[in-house]
Amino acid sequence: MANSVELANPNLADMSSDFLYHLAINVPNTKDTSELQKQFGDVRVICVGGTASRMRELAIYLGKTLNIPNSAEPVDLCKQGNRYAVFKVGPVLCASHGVGSSTFSVVLHELLKLVKYAKCQDPIFIRIGTCGGVGVPPGTVVVTKDAYNGLLNNEHEIFILGERVVRPAHFHKDVMLAIVACGQQSDGFDTINANTMSTDCFYEGQGRIDGAVCHYNNEQKMQFLQRAHAKGIRNIEMEATMMASLTLQAKVKAADICVTIVNRLNGDQVCGDSEGKVPLSLEQKKNFEHRPFLIVGRYLQKLLSN
């Protein structure tokens, strides 16, 4: 039986109105959200990713894949907010979240409230992005099992009211396995489930040696990456721990699916350096970025046909 979202915040019940500021969506009466339900009540899946352009491409792709009428030119429903882009294609929302957990957490809180007010039934949140691989070839699609922080602990850390709060960070097992099962041998790339390391920094936090500041050497970097690999971590990005933790707190199903665009055990640069040590062209990178589209498209075809 389908259920509406009930968020873990009793204070929402005392609010007569709510302005989802960063989405530029006003909820003037939280006791009567019928207009919001008309616009968003049919949403079953919320896909999120870094950039507005990629989410627009995803919206167009899913419109074709799911045979959604009038989806060739999706409209940004949150353009007035000037921060995040949100496109609707039938029962799917495609929203941008920026880079890293800080920008993502802002829009994720507001998207969670949106599906609550719209009375969406059992919505599923899916993040689609790129990442660095750890011991897997570029182009591998990784669906996250457990999310690890920069200390290589399976948890998310947040500071609330001057206190350090630690919460679990794992994704819904059934959703993860269902998405992984959508990979096919004929794809020409592997779709795997594995652990993910999520950091607050792209450079030092991920052990790169090509940032503006670096006080460790390549040998120390490799030792750290090998420790991560020993914990079953096969990719590194910047959003998984927060997403896993927050969706667990909100009691909604979620998944994180990313394509690797570099094997960090071989180097740090994404699209090659002057010596060509990482020979991934921009065209190949673009091709890789669409691989999660294919997998998620298949998953949504199965999900929405039930």
**Higher pLDDT, residue 272 or 298:** 298
Average pLDDT over residues 70-81: 91
Averaged confidence pLDDT in the chain: 94
The pLDDT-based confidence of 271 (bands split at 50, 70, 90) is: low
Which two tokens mark 231?
């914990």
Structural element, H or E, at residue 115:
helix 101-117
Domains identified in the chain and CATH numbers: 1-122 (3.40.50.1580), 128-306 (3.40.50.1580)
Percent composition of the chain: helix, strand, coil (DSSP 3-state, to 5): 35, 25, 40
Q: What is the pLDDT of residue 303?
A: 96
Strands 141-148 and 253-263: antiparallel
Average pLDDT over residues 139-150: 97
Which two tokens mark 114?
């949106």
The pLDDT-based confidence of 276 (bands split at 50, 70, 90) is: very low
- Written as one letter, the residue type at 200 is D
Span of 68-77, 156-165, 245-254, 293-302 with lowest mean pLDDT: 68-77
User: Which pTM does this prediction carry?
Assistant: 0.95
pLDDT tens per residue, range 85-105: 999 999 999 999 999 999 999
The pLDDT-based confidence of 165 (bands split at 50, 70, 90) is: very high
- Interhelix angle for 291-305 vs 282-289, to 10°? 10
The pLDDT-based confidence of 279 (bands split at 50, 70, 90) is: low
